[in-house]
Chain A
């Protein structure tokens, strides 16, 4: 009986809240409900690490839809249809190349933009040096670096991240409490992504110390609820680094509106390394060739001794 009453009370309350919210957001701001669904899938040929990262991200996004591996790497426009099929308006596509390089495509589906990243330094949640944990499906706080507001392409990236990683309010499987924060920072031309648990540490200290703490927290722009708890962050994972490569205007198509010239393809890097090694060998080869040529010039080929073919040779003389 009590349960029934409770549920009834809750629904009526939430209805009221909804109406309030609508009155607050919907009509006055012209805000629609934030509806995001993300299709998460990879190409064939991903390594286990890539797959784990994908699983981690899928676990973090209650509004995500994980799908089977996508077969093609060239006909990515087919993803648009696939996303439509699943009612998704975002696609997060992991493209693995050569069984080692991971490219991540973030696309807003019906009409763009699409961002292609190169992902490096992947650490998944399985790793044991991450000590945090949080509720599955709780909404993250998205913390962006101030650099994200400076350049248009970074602004676009920020917006897309907000759609993809931000769990929309009232998403189906989301939890009502907030216990983790995702950090996006720009450094060295790359975007570094981290995920931390927010742990509220109770202040179990003496009165005097509490006062002191209050002061310090006031310094860090807090003041009001400093009495209650302090915040400490513990990393949960995954962590990875994205280098933006291009931004296309459409969804998996359309003109390129941004291209990162600082990006050097991993193929180039590897080729450069190989060439560096090969140059040693080439130099040695050249040297031997030169030696041979010089010897030949002196008539010392094949270890033969230079022979005087004139008539003064002993063998000729005393034949």
Chain B
């Protein structure tokens, strides 16, 4: 009921507004006079907002429902707008009615709060205000460009520098929450305009590109830009470092495999060599004892085996193994012996089964004449032996060397 009443009450101002369209400016001035002075308007509005807040806290559920419903209505509205382009008059009237109701609502501000409450309860779904006529009038009042499209087309682009894209950007955004897609759509919109603007401006001979020698204050300060640059560099290095680390990790993982493979290969090779040696030995045995005597010297040094192995290795991958190097020169050998590289030095002088079994340099004669070495007169006896001019027992190294020779 209240709504209907409001509608009826709205009739008068509506007619007023319709006549507005005919004589524009004068009426507008009138209206401005007839309206409340703008002084009171924001205050009243603020009051209303507060009141709304309280209200909504009480009846949130209803409010919610209301919002949804109004949304639905909105959607319907827009749909019908887009569909029915020709039925403009009807549509406009409808809009007018709606808006008038709302204007009335606003006029009812000076009612009692109770009455207001009642009204609000009956017309729970608040109407949308979308006074298209007033909006268009306002647009016309402030627009930079002439309203006729013909004249507007003659205005140089440099005058306003505004461009409207051909397609709505919203269509290019699948989901508003997807930041990347959304920003890309905005960027594309701006890019399209920028390209278009460049051609337009070049056509009008307006300078576009900044010359490289034109320096002036920039929008963002140098410190900011340096910070930006620093951040970029940091990001780049961090990225690089992480990539490196990943590579290293992968390598480590893969390196293990390589190592295992190598070990297996080595073991295989060793087995192959041993097999070959055994085979050779068997072959030799089969070859008969006759040849054995003749080739005693050869046999002693296993030359055949060496040859066999050498022939095998020459074709192989590992060309430069230790055996390939040939013996170092004499000087080197001596040095190696003296300073190292001569193999194990420890326990070289300690006795073992061979040394204790070694009887070279032992003579029974000396044993009889010189007195016992085990008597503790070793030094004396050896001295006496020297004095006598007999050959003393050589040191172990020497003895060994001599034995081999």
Contacts and interface: CB of A to CB of B under 8 A. Distances in A.
Interface string A99-130: 00000000010011100000000000110111
Contacts of A236: 219-220
A134 B164 contact: no
Interface string A234-253: 01100000000011111111
Contact of A188 (B167, B176, B207): B176
A76 interface: yes
A53 B208 CA distance: 27
B164 A146 contact: yes
A183 interface: yes
Contact of B39 (A60, A77, A139): A77
Given A29-B146, A142-B162, A222-B195, A233 B74 contact: no
A250 B38 contact: yes
A43 interface: no
Nearest to A150: B168
B142 A160 contact: yes
Contact of A220 (B146, B195, B228): B195
A153 interface: yes
Contacts of B192: 143, 220
A41 B392 CA distance: 116
A82 interface: no
Given A249-B134, A271-B57, A261 B71 contact: yes
Nearest to B57: A271
B194 A231 contact: yes
Given A136-B216, A261-B70, A162 B144 contact: yes
A247 B216 CA distance: 39
A188 B176 CA distance: 7
Interface in A172-210: 175-183, 185-188, 192, 194, 196, 198, 200
Contact of A128 (B56, B103, B196, B228): B228
A113 B32 CA distance: 13
Contacts of B218: 133-136
Interface in B278-317: none
A292 interface: no
B115 to A, nearest CB: 21
Interface string A17-31: 000000011001111
Nearest to A247: B135
Given A125-B220, A144-B164, A159-B139, A187 B232 contact: no
Interface stretch (B181-189, B250-258, B323-331, B362-370): B181-189
A126 B128 contact: no
Given A130-B228, A255-B106, A136 B217 contact: yes
B382 to A, nearest CB: 91
Nearest to B230: A128
B199 A224 contact: yes
A262 B190 contact: no
Interface residues of A, number: 102
A164 to B, nearest CB: 11
Contact of A112 (B138, B159, B219): B138
Interface string A246-271: 11111111111111011011011001
Nearest to A56: B219
Contacts of B214: 177
A198 B144 CA distance: 26
Contacts of B67: 261, 264
A259 B186 contact: no
A141 B142 contact: no
Contact of A181 (B70, B182, B190): B190
B21 to A, nearest CB: 15
Given A144-B164, A177-B208, A259 B129 contact: yes
B219 A225 contact: no
B209 A200 contact: yes
B151 interface: yes
B128 A261 contact: yes
Interface stretch (B40-48, B116-124, B236-244): B40-48
A233 B191 contact: yes
A185 B168 CA distance: 8
Contacts of B166: 146
B111 interface: no
A256 B129 contact: yes
Interface in A216-232: 220-222, 224-225, 229, 231
Given A76-B42, A133-B218, A236-B220, A159 B144 contact: yes
Closest 4 pairs (CB-CB, A-B): A253-B38, A143-B193, A152-B135, A183-B190
Given A133-B225, A135-B219, A186-B168, 18 more contacts: A29-B151, A112-B141, A113-B142, A136-B219, A141-B197, A143-B190, A147-B168, A147-B170, A152-B130, A156-B142, A177-B210, A185-B189, A188-B170, A194-B190, A250-B38, A251-B38, A252-B38, A253-B42
26 contacts: A28-B154, A30-B146, A74-B42, A77-B38, A77-B41, A111-B32, A113-B135, A134-B219, A141-B162, A143-B194, A145-B168, A145-B169, A147-B169, A148-B164, A169-B158, A178-B207, A181-B194, A186-B169, A187-B176, A196-B187, A220-B192, A233-B190, A253-B38, A254-B32, A257-B131, A257-B135
